[in-house]
Amino acid sequence: MMVPPAVALGLDIRVLAESEGSSAQIAATAVGDYRDAGTVLAFARDVDVITFDHEHVPQDVLAALVGAGIAVHPKPAALAVAQDKLVMRRRLSAIGAPVPDWAEIAGAAALGTFLADHGGRAVVKTPRGGYDGKGVRVVDASSGADDWFAAGGPLLVEELVDFRRELSQLVARRPSGEVRAWPLVETVQRDGVCAEVFAPAPRAGALPERASALAIRIAEELDVTGVLAVELFETTDGGLLINELAMRPHNTGHWSIDGAVTSQFEQHLRAVADLPLGDPAPIAPWSVMINVLGGPEGATMVERYPRAMADRPEVKLHSYDKTSRPGRKVGHVTATGDELDDVIARARAAAAFFQG
Amino acid sequence: MMVPPAVALGLDIRVLAESEGSSAQIAATAVGDYRDAGTVLAFARDVDVITFDHEHVPQDVLAALVGAGIAVHPKPAALAVAQDKLVMRRRLSAIGAPVPDWAEIAGAAALGTFLADHGGRAVVKTPRGGYDGKGVRVVDASSGADDWFAAGGPLLVEELVDFRRELSQLVARRPSGEVRAWPLVETVQRDGVCAEVFAPAPRAGALPERASALAIRIAEELDVTGVLAVELFETTDGGLLINELAMRPHNTGHWSIDGAVTSQFEQHLRAVADLPLGDPAPIAPWSVMINVLGGPEGATMVERYPRAMADRPEVKLHSYDKTSRPGRKVGHVTATGDELDDVIARARAAAAFFQG
């Protein structure tokens, strides 16, 4: 999704894709393993700056790039915080950012102690590799994470936060320090996966100012370059607690492609190229983004375009994959407009053509 | 510029480029001569539909494609009207569309007669190959086109229209007949090249309804598929006369990339793929597009991004070419907003960073 703004701005973009036929194939593409330092170094030889669309590039590969004199954004030290949830919690706690109660636990006994202190239920997370609800589990018994402990390594345990809703604050920051914040958005999760995003977050009072100040502080303290997504809980007493961080364009920012003057993908390109950041202002009072998940039938979004486009000519449609896999995000739709209820209804009507 | 919407919609796009390193290189690209039927047929073997970003593909190549069973949009018969200005004038006159007085002339004597009937001055055009003011000349003597006559073939001569301003009406039409019109826009030409576009055309009264009805009628009568641009004169007595037609996304529609719900490039893709058309409504009360021409110094737009982006974070910047050539369109900028004067000022301020 960085290709369209790169084409518009006339910035050369090269992609190191995991496999032939992946979504990234449209751009000048190499195919190779991002975990192999030699592969990544060879790919990087002709570029000015390297960035990522996920956080999983190993630190030894990042170190090899930096050692070869290649600009890497976000930098390895910042990315390390997004790569490991225990590192993230430690760093956020160290800078005094609001996080749920948490502990690093090495076994069932420690989990039992945490459960006893937190009403008998808690969230256990694997430090690495989780996404879209994977690697996250609610437990109510000290034996509830035995399989993960058996797989080795410590786990993160957190209090089950009593929240009103989930929010997301995205900011972008350049190496030279400039930072810009998009409006705070509300995110609706289903089965651990982002389902809908309302931009800006409705009825948010003073939360936007607090959320953007918090995200900017995190970006600065952690020296984040590029887009930083701060996923937040709005607690039942009106507070904010940080759920997760991501250092890349993020699903909760997809609304900005069609709903903001500068999309998160254009902004990420500007930021990692150390170009002045664009205006993140919305282009309409409301934008609503709805994810499309692959269904069991396997019809692609494109095959369903005729009916969806005929019914909703004003909704923007995005398809990522040629093949639909059950439960996998295969695209999204975005509606914009003046009345929130109307925008939600139009986005849902469009999304419905691609579901089931 | 069709690549970004193709990526967003998840439509596979392949490009037959004239040379390595052309702007089209970002997409899966073949390099070859569009005038060679064998080259184009080989390229077309794997695609569902062929379209064009210029009108110069020869009719024998188009016929070979159709003969091979490949969908071609716009169709050869429609494209023939855009390829030859004499054919265009004949067809427009035949359907009763308002055009300047014109004649087909084979030599100086006929030109002299036309001049005598039209106040001693007229516009002579070569039927083929003209663009951006090339192949167009104002003459006031019967000998004024002798060099073109010497090169062979008849010429088109037209009255010098006494116009208030130039306008442009874009529509898109699907093979199945659906048609959508963007707002009528005002275009400001300098030295025969489009310099600025104001969308919608200010103070236009009833002209938008007349212009869109006219463009839709032309699209239907000529069986145009894809985007049709109708360049118009608003005459001093408030009438409309057709200046030129183009059957492709057009410079006077570039504002729609950032200023309309559906850009002309997305709409062209939808139209030629016979998908339902998107909403062409503007996203803001005013959009202003300004072309960037290559200057003698040769600094690229991208090299000038730092100052332009810092000064005008809200203006959308587009760069087509890595190398700047004097007088050639190398990019454009678009500003949007609520007050026309402010939008013009912001667009001009951004464009100024790239000029001279």
Residues B127, B10, single domain; the answer is: no
Q: What are phi and psi of A344, to 5 degrees?
A: -60, -45
Q: What is the mean pLDDT of residues B327-348?
A: 96
A96 in a structural domain: no
A332 has pLDDT over 90: yes
Residues B134, B172, single domain; the answer is: no
Does residue A228 sit in helix, strand or coil? strand
Q: Could you say which of B143, B159, B175 is where a domain stops? A: B159
Q: What is the mean pLDDT of residues A208-228?
A: 98
B23 has pLDDT over 60: no
pLDDT at A268: 98
Rounded percentage of chain A residues whose pLDDT exceeds 70 = 95
Q: How far is CA B150 from CA A37, B138, B143, in A?
A: 65, 18, 11
A87 in a structural domain: no
Q: Are A319 and B10 inside 8 Å of each other by CB? A: yes
B141 in a structural domain: yes
Provide the b/e sequence for B190-212 (b: ≥16 CB within 10 Å). eeebbebbbbbbeebeebbebbb
Residues A341, A194, single domain; the answer is: yes
pLDDT in tens, A265-307: 999 999 999 999 999 999 999 999 999 998 777 678 999 999 9
Q: How many CB atoms lie within 10 A of CB B170?
A: 31
Residues B32, B77, single domain; the answer is: yes
Residue B119 sits in a domain of what CATH number? 3.30.1490.20
B318 in a structural domain: yes
Q: B128 lies in which domain range? A: 101-159
Residues B337, B308, single domain; the answer is: yes
Residues B302, B258, single domain; the answer is: yes
pLDDT at A264: 98
Residue B9 contacts A where some CB pair is shorter than 8 Å: yes
Write the CB contacts of A163 (distance below 8 Å, at least 6 apart in sequence): A233, A234, A235, A236, A241
Task: Give B 274-313 residues with CB within 8 A of chain A.
Answer: 275-279, 281, 283-284, 300-302, 305-306, 309-310, 313
As a whole number of angstroms, the distance between CA B219 and CA B179 comes to 8
Give A193 to chain B, closest Cα distance, Å. 21
Residues B294, B230, single domain; the answer is: yes
The end-to-end CA distance of chain A, in Å, is 25
Its sign, for the CA torsion B191, B197, B198, B199, is: positive
Residue B83 contacts A where some CB pair is shorter than 8 Å: no
Residues B311, B286, single domain; the answer is: yes
Q: Are A331 and B276 inside 8 Å of each other by CB? A: no
A33 in a structural domain: yes
Q: Which of A316, A319, A324 to mutate to test the interface with B (most CBs of B within 10 A)?
A: A316
Q: Are B302 and A10 inside 8 Å of each other by CB? A: yes
Residues A193, A151, single domain; the answer is: no
| Between B22 and B50, the higher pLDDT residue | B50
Chain B residue with Cα closest to A308: B276
Tally A–B CB contacts below 8 A.
Answer: 115
Residue A55 sits in a domain of what CATH number? 3.40.50.20
Q: What is the mean pLDDT of residues A108-113?
A: 96
B90 has pLDDT over 70: yes
Residues A196, A344, single domain; the answer is: yes
The tally of domains found in chain A comes to: 3
A88 in a structural domain: no
Residues B141, B187, single domain; the answer is: no
pLDDT at A299: 78
pLDDT in tens, A219-250: 999 999 999 999 999 999 999 999 999 999 99
Nearest to B276 among A257, A283, A313 (CB): A313
Q: Could you say which of A51, A82, A113 is where a domain stops? A: A82
Task: Give B 139-198 residues with CB within 8 A of chain A.
Answer: 180
B-chain residues near A310 (CB < 8 A): 276
Residue with token string 């009103």: A164
Give the residue among B253, B348, B340, B341 at the shortest CA–CA distance from B308.
B348
N residues, chain B: 356
Residue A177 sits in a domain of what CATH number? 3.30.470.20
Q: What's the complex ipTM? A: 0.93
Rounded (5°) CA angle A195-B13-B22: 125
Task: Give A 224-263 residues with CB within 8 A of chain B.
Answer: 257, 261-262
Q: Could you say which of B37, B55, B82 is where a domain stops? A: B82
DSSP, res A267: H
A332 in a structural domain: yes
Entry pTM? 0.95
pLDDT in tens, A166-201: 999 999 999 999 999 999 999 999 988 899 999 999
DSSP, res A182: P
As a whole number of angstroms, the distance between CA B202 and CA B196 comes to 13
B90 in a structural domain: no
pLDDT at B29: 75
B24 has pLDDT over 50: no
pLDDT in tens, A12-71: 888 888 877 655 445 567 889 999 999 999 999 889 999 998 889 999 999 999 999 999
pLDDT at B324: 63
Q: How far is CA B48 from CA A106, B11, B51, B70, B272, in A?
A: 57, 11, 10, 7, 10
pLDDT in tens, B293-325: 987 776 789 999 999 999 999 999 999 866 667
Residues A208, A138, single domain; the answer is: no
